[in-house]
């Protein structure tokens, strides 16, 4: 171990994954443990906040221990602790924050607060440092944003959704066409089995950098109801295909417009919906044709994990960001 090396222990518990990770110098993943509660919540058709926080309480100490053991390290080897303080489910966040405060206090380590979306962005830094300036397309269950970054930890919001986030729209459409939880990945898969035959609108196809997905979602609801009333079966694969095509079309169109107008050549994609194969494939193709340097995280880093929190935590630590021992978990908070 080199004396200058910085080892960040990251903690993520904002939704239904309890995850701990150790990352060296913001780039190199040493060890990660993720305990997903997905199977439990699948029984209820979505995440039940009360159950999620209880499961975090039961699991977090086990996950911390397992992560350190896997790395063959002790808390003495850790430089600082980075934790997701928000946004997310307040009860879930609280468990991670209390664990971080306790470790920081007992082992006398700096406590670094990390915004969940900063974490998703820094998933692109794992294995190779991001190149600046860049545009980040953030697509998750709670966010759909275009962000300009001139350098590490400088986040300038250019545009965002005026209503639903794209992941939220996927989950709602999944429910309408009666696809089991987790809906997003299944709708993605089904879209490849169907054809774009349904006449859905391209949402907020205007000159702004903003998005809107509630109109597209309503169009899917109306179409499903109308067909049902007429006694017609909808073809779920075709509807998934038409929906995904509109989503991918508008995300790609506005992202390319932003890249052009901000005159940058680096694009990164962040958030759970970065796992969507339609978005990945289209952006790979468009970026190749337009000489844009595209980075999309490996699938395992797209959905919630602590590796991304530890990676972001390294830069926050370097910039001197520190939380007091009374750091508060926050359900809603702007990216900073
Ligand atoms: O980033 P994430 O794990 O949680 C938040 O921070 O919100 O994102 C979860 C969202 C869910 O809405 C889920 O349905 C969606 O990401 N998602 C997908 C895919 N994989 C996950 N949506 C579309 N296609 C996918 N392959
Ligand atoms: Zn997330």
pLDDT in tens, 33-59: 999 999 999 899 889 999 999 999 999
Task: For residues 27 and 82, state if they share a domain.
Answer: yes
Give CA separation, 179 vs 23, 27, 225, 240, 241, in Å. Answer: 36, 37, 16, 10, 14
Among residues 30, 50, 15, 4, the alpha carbon closest in space to that of 311 is found at: 30
Structural domain includes residue 333: no
User: Are 17 and 36 a contacting pair, CB within 8 Å?
Assistant: yes
**282 token code pair:** 């289209």
Name the 3-class secondary structure at 6: coil
d(CA 220, CA 187): 13
Q: Which residues form ligand 1's pocket by a CB distance below 6 Å?
A: 15, 116, 120, 140-142, 167, 170-171, 182-185, 188, 271-273, 275-276, 303-304
Q: With respect to residue 334, please indicate whether it lies within any of the assigned structural domains.
A: no
DSSP conformational letter for 89: -
**Angstrom distances, CA of residue 139 to CA of 38, 207, 219, 292:** 20, 20, 21, 19
> Both 276 and 180 in a single domain?
yes
The Å distance, Cα 294 to ligand 1 centre, comes to 20
For ligand 1, atom 24, name the residue with the nearest CA.
276
Same domain, 227 and 203: yes
d(CA 327, CA 262) in angstroms, rounded, equals 36
Task: Please tell me the distance between residue 1's alpha carbon and the centre of ligand 2 in angstroms.
Answer: 32
Tokens in use for 261?
């107008």
Residue of the CA atom closest to atom 14 of ligand 1: 184
Q: What separation in Å is there between the alpha carbon of 142 and the centre of ligand 1?
A: 9
Residues near ligand 2 ion, CB 5 Å cutoff: 140, 304
Q: Is residue 1 part of a domain?
A: no
Same domain, yes or no: 218 and 147: yes
CA of 275 to the centre of ligand 1 (A): 7
The total of other beta-carbon atoms located within 10 Å of residue 184's CB is 23
Overall residue count recorded for the chain in this entry: 336
The alpha carbon of 304 and the centre of ligand 2 are apart by a number of angstroms equal to 5
Residue with tokens 């275009």: 146
Residue of 36, 216, 217, 272 to test ligand 1 pocket, by largest number of atoms within 8 Å of CB: 272
Which tokens sit at 23? 């990352």
Query: Which residues of the chain have a pLDDT value below 50?
Result: none
Contact 285, 96 (CB under 8 A): no
Q: Is residue 192 part of a domain?
A: yes
Give every strand in the sheet of 144-149, ordered side by side: 156-160, 144-149, 134-139, 266-270, 293-295
pTM (2 decimals)?
A: 0.97
DSSP-derived pairing of the beta strands 111-115 and 80-86: parallel
Query: What is the residue with the minimal CA distance to atom 4 of ligand 1?
Result: 141
If asked whether residues 101 and 214 sit together in one domain, one would say: no
Question: Residue 45: what pLDDT?
Answer: 86
Please name the residue whose Cα sits nearest to atom 22 of ligand 1: 184
| Residue 212 and residue 96 share a domain | no
Q: What CA–CA distance (Å, rounded) separates 11 from 38?
A: 18
Ligand number with the minimum distance to the CA of 192: 1
Q: Residue 24 domain-assigned?
A: yes
Give the CA diameter of the chain: 71
Q: How high is the pLDDT of residue 3?
A: 82
Give the ligand with the smallest distance to the CA of 170.
Answer: 1
Cα 270 from Cα 322, distance rounded (Å) = 24
Q: Are 72 and 199 found together in one domain?
A: no
Q: What is the pLDDT of residue 2?
A: 84
pLDDT of residue 236: 96
pLDDT at 316: 98
If you measure from the C-alpha of residue 272 to the centroid of ligand 1, how many angstroms do you get, rounded to a whole number?
Answer: 4
The residue range of the domain holding 69 is: 7-123+302-318
Q: Number of structural domains, the chain?
A: 2
User: Domain of 134: which CATH number?
Assistant: 3.30.420.40
User: Which numbered atom of ligand 1 lies nearest the CA of 171?
Assistant: 14
Ligand 1 geometric centre to CA of 213 (Å): 15
Which pair of tokens denotes residue 184?
A: 């997003």
Q: How far is CA 153 from CA 19, 111, 132, 272, 314, in A?
A: 22, 17, 11, 20, 11
């Amino acid at each position: 171990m080199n004396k200058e090396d910085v080892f960040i222990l990251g903690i993520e518990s904002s939704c239904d994954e309890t995850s701990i990770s150790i990352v060296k110098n913001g780039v190199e993943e040493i060890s990660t443990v993720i305990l997903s509660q997905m199977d439990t919540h699948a029984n209820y058709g979505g995440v039940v906040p009360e159950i999620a926080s209880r499961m975090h309480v039961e699991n977090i100490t086990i996950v911390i221990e397992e992560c350190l053991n896997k790395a063959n390290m002790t808390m003495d080897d850790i430089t600082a602790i980075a934790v997701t303080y928000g946004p997310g489910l307040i009860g879930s966040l609280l468990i991670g924050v209390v664990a971080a405060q306790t470790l920081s206090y007992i082992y006398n380590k700096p406590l670094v607060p990390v915004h969940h979306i900063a974490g998703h962005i820094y998933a692109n830094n794992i294995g190779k440092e991001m190149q600046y300036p860049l545009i980040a397309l953030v697509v998750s269950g709670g966010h759909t944003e275009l962000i300009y970054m001139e350098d590490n930890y400088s986040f300038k919001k250019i545009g965002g959704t005026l209503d639903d986030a794209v992941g939220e729209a996927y989950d709602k459409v999944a429910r309408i066409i009666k696809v089991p939880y987790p809906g997003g990945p299944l709708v993605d898969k089904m879209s490849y089995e169907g054809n774009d035959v349904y006449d859905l609108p391209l949402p907020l196809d205007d000159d702004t950098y903003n998005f809107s997905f509630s109109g597209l979602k309503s169009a899917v609801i109306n179409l499903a109801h109308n067909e049902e009333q007429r006694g017609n079966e909808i073809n779920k694969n075709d509807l998934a295909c038409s929906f995904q095509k509109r989503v991918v079309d508008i995300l790609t169109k506005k992202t390319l417009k932003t890249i052009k107008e901000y005159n940058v050549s680096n694009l990164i994609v962040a958030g759970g919906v970065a796992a969507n194969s339609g978005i990945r494939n289209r952006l790979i193709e468009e970026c190749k044709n337009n000489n844009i340097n595209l980075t999309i995280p490996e699938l395992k880093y797209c959905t919630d994990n602590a590796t991304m929190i530890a990676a972001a935590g390294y830069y926050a630590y370097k910039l001197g960001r520190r939380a007091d021992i009374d750091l508060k978990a926050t359900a809603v908070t702007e990216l900073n």
